[in-house]
A and B are shown apart, each in its own frame.
Chain A
Amino acid sequence: MRARWALLLGGLVITVSQSAFAAGGRMSVPKTIEAGNSFSIQISGSGNATLFIVGTGQVIKRDVQLGQTVYFAAGSLYNAGHYLAVLEGDSSAETESLDVVSATKPSILSFLAKPSRLPVSLHGGITGAVYVFDAYHNLISEPMPLSFELASPTGTVQKHVTVTRYGAAWAEMDSTAQQGIDQFLARAGELSSTRIIAQVPGDPCGLKMSAQQSGQQIQLVTDAVRDCNGNAVPDGTIVTFTQTFEGSQSTIDEPLKHGIAQVTISAHNGALLSVASGVVMGNQIRWEK
């Protein structure tokens, strides 16, 4: 909204001034300046005038003496974009344009990493996107080298080096075979930003239970439940035990505790016992006394 008003004001000034402009000073405006840098405008002629610099989100107004150099301190113009410099005299106006470009030195990395939690051994499962900004939050559109590093707790590092395009770069990484907390790092020059990625075990693999008599009941106990990479499936994961006997069925959804699940159910000779977790089936046991 501020930018619109500034442009509107600038346009108005130009229109009014140009119609009234007859003769006076001339400006020497740098075509390009870096955001936040100091700069100067040389003005020829004599007398007094008003200098406007109008651009995206910023307007500067100065009363100037024609024939002198007008200095602007560092940080005067900091929003990257196209600006108009308008010199308005008593009866005349002159307009020049200048571009403020983002600084070449990155100061801020906006790093988006997704997801923050995923199963192990997922090809291309992790994506990171980086936007590079200068100190004034201008997107640095000039290409610059950038690297992504995914470090697992075991010390394995996946590295991907790329170059930003229009201020952005992205990379795809694989989750490793081992569960744990990974550090996902994006680096541009001396600047870096880190995100945490949790690699969690996948579906149970080779789910197996054993059964033994416990008084009048059967105790069913799974082996330590692990995924296909040998990672222990976390406690709390639901394991479903099912007993089918003469058309009747009993089920218990039991969470893993200390890596195993165990239940005690009524013993029926000839009953078929099975175990599953999610969509993964385990072994079956025919219970015979």
Chain B
Amino acid sequence: MKKGHLLAVLLGVSTVALILIGTEWPVPSAAAYAGGGSLLRSSSTPEAAAANLVDQIRMQSWNKAYIGLANKAQFTEQEFVHDITGYDPSLRTYATLESVELAPLHESADDAEIRVKLHWSTVVGTNVSTRDLHVVRNGDHWEVEWPIIKKAVVPPQVIAVNYLRWDVIYRGSGDDWGIQDVEAPHVRIVDMHPVDRAEGVVIVGELLNEDVVPAYVSVAATLLSKNQSPIATEGSFDKISHLLLPKQVTPFLIEFPRVSLSEVGSVRMVPTSSLVAASADPVIEIEGQQLNPAPGASLTGELINQSGQVVNVAHVLGTFYDKGGQVVWVADEYIDRALLPQAPVPFEIHIPQDLASKISSQRTVVATYSFGGS
């Protein structure tokens, strides 16, 4: 009983002591976030100048960040903010800067190049954007020249959109038994392969909407052991383009963490589809698709929105085939910038190093989402 009291007193005293220490001598980051100080160090080196700018971006101190730029005369503060957060609502608009990597590329007495990798935390996961910063000496300190990407200017014009739109009238609750409902779209899995990976089994494949109406699709898979008992069931989640127009093909990828392919006897695939209202607009052109070999194997290219409306979120899915035309991998990337009409936006989908040598061709599809639309 006495020991308990002693422990309580000790804990109380130590808590008070720690509070006093923290208040009197706070760590710089805590003081900065509390508004009582700054994380910023002296910009006496190019790295320090870049780090300061990144910290200001993280804290959304846009004015301080803008004022400290060497080339601020070339653009307004608003343009600077929009360049970072997006000119139109997009994934980046709602993202927060999670972490940063700084890598000096070149340095001389008066200028330096620093590569900055910004890891943004978005609703669909981490998104990395890379900027090469030119840092210049200005007297006794260094200033960053921000590589501004100005909003693409689309000339005033009228883009006539006369693509199809499908609307659906579903069966009413009062209809008698035996009255037909609207038939669900017919979809078919045209390819499927299990892949054994270090993190588990992955099922990759392709799904075709073979109907003449749009389909909202998803795929579920159940791994069965050699004695046909189920091991696990998983769905494709977002590794698929859920909306398929007639004769459109989407890749899919289903992950089964911590399962070895040697345990699997067979796989039961269940594609599901439902008829949904949809529009054939917007059309996105995927230009300059390039398979880049290892190291850093990737698929790069550019998306061009051929319609007249802004696409807020684009999801690029790449299907990778071997020489025999079989699917060996599926990878994706969300574009964290809105796609403006006719303005190219680059994408880069990373490919696992060990699979890169097996890949001989690819196919890319884009799923799009517009706020207030489809």
Interface residues of A (CB under 8 A from B): 110-113, 115-117, 193, 195-196, 200-201, 203-204, 233-239, 247-255, 257, 263, 265-266, 277-280
Contacts and interface: CB of A to CB of B under 8 A. Distances in A.
* Best-surrounded residue of A111, A112, A278 (most CB of chain B within 10 A): A278
A263 B284 CA distance: 11
Contact of A203 (B210, B214, B280): B210
Nearest to B283: A254
Interface in B89-115: none
Contact of B183 (A110, A115, A233, A247): A115
Interface in B234-285: 245-249, 280, 283-285
B285 A263 contact: yes
Given A112-B178, A234-B246, A200 B212 contact: yes
B363 interface: yes
Contacts of B364: 251
Given A250-B287, A278-B210, A257 B246 contact: no
A166 to B, nearest CB: 18
Given A116-B180, A116-B183, A247-B291, A237 B286 contact: no
A200 B210 CA distance: 11
Contacts of B180: 113, 116, 195-196
A229 B237 CA distance: 38
B166 interface: yes
B170 interface: no
Interface residues of B, number: 40
Given A116-B180, A251-B363, A237 B208 contact: no
B287 A266 contact: yes
A236 B190 contact: no
* Best-surrounded residue of B283, B285, B306 (most CB of chain A within 10 A): B285
Contacts of B306: 252
Nearest to B208: A278
Nearest to B292: A247
Contact of B285 (A115, A117, A196, A250): A250
A238 B178 contact: no
Nearest to B280: A255
